[in-house]
Amino acid sequence: MKILITGTAGFIGAHLAIKLLERGDEVVGLDNINDYYDQNIKYGRLQRGGILKNLEDGKNIKYNDLLTSSKYINYNFIKLNLEDRENIDKLFENEKFDKVINLAAQAGVRYSLTNPRAYIDSNIVGFLNILEACRHNNIKGLAYASSSSVYGLNEAQPFSTSSNVDHPMSLYAASKKSNELMAHTYSHLYNIPTTGLRFFTVYGPWGRPDMALYLFTKAIIEGKPIDVFNHGNMQRDFTYINDIVEGIIRVNDNPPEGNNSWNGMNPDPSSSPAPYKIYNIGNNNPVKLMDFIKALEKKIGKIAQKNMLPIQAGDVPSTYADVSGLITDLDYKPETTIEDGIDSFVDWYIDFFKITLKKQ
């Protein structure tokens, strides 16, 4: 297949692109390489995928300036904002994709408290441009990133895609819920198969520097204290990157059809008579924050200094994914243990930053 992956300088997109390339798909990657976090990591991900040419910061590369990789002959990359409607339309019109996987977005719950407009521009306006381009270019399936954050004030666990999610706790979460609603509209009106993927705390090599595992690892190695929110009374359904990628690929290969048993008198939010579906992708095994920290301390060989702090605005104390939909429809369940996942991340971190550990 010929697949557009947006967000290929990002954590999930970079891993996904390589996996699809290795199985023989043709991939066009798109990213704006913004400065939300360290761009060196973003460039490092691109170089790992074979994008070896220098990319000019702060400038959109026009459609006809696609950069061709020297490592994978079936991989092209374009530096572009989702909000750039004109060039998004040109890209779709000329490349004639079979499928689209939209992972580009402004991420982060806490950042949304201080920079709300970035979420509207990228996650709402940008996503609309993707939907419109899919509509006008005979796209056979759109998979897109949602988030466990949409569960908001929900307390019944595990979080189920059949539950109502109308009480988000951040604009980031609201933007992801909006994506699900927008996608359903296009599935209903234009018969575009769309699948929303609610990711649960993704971690692993090449992970984002604003995420807990990266922050904790850096601080512990440098002998600095870590911030432990809600006084450690948190738990997360940490999901390893390889498991996330496998889930995306299975969804991409199996676009949804309409649910013939859907009942408007008792509507299931995760499906529709239209070709529309929502899945959780989580480990289905929440880990207590203090146990997570202990596993990290064991791998690094140092005890963390801990600042015990109250919960932050927009955060939820617990996440726990019901993945029964993945199991039933796609015969898949993430299963990487937290110990194995942390080991892989720390090994990558040490190698990337050329660190020699001095254990206590």
- Which residues form the catalytic set? 172
CA distances, 116 to each of 108, 111, 172, 255 (Å): 11, 8, 8, 32
Token couple for 273: 């008579």
If DSSP codes are grouped into helix, strand and coil, which group holds residue 78?
strand
Query: In one letter, which amino acid is 358?
Result: K
* Crossing angle between the packed helical segments 338-352 and 212-222, to the nearest 10 degrees: 60
Question: CB 189: neighbour CB atoms within 10 A?
Answer: 10
Check: CB of residue 195 under 8 Å from CB of residue 141: yes
Q: Distance (Å, rounded) from C-alpha 143 to C-alpha 14? A: 16
Check: CB of residue 225 under 8 Å from CB of residue 219: yes
Q: Distance (Å, rounded) from C-alpha 43 to C-alpha 54? A: 9
If DSSP codes are grouped into helix, strand and coil, which group holds residue 264?
coil
Listed in sequence order, the DSSP H helices in 101-170 are 111-114, 116-119, 126-136
Q: Distance (Å, rounded) from C-alpha 144 to C-alpha 149? A: 15
Check: CB of residue 4 under 8 Å from CB of residue 90: no
Query: What residue has token string 């691109």?
Result: 46
263 exposure class (CB count in 10 Å sphere: 0-12, 13-18, 19+): exposed
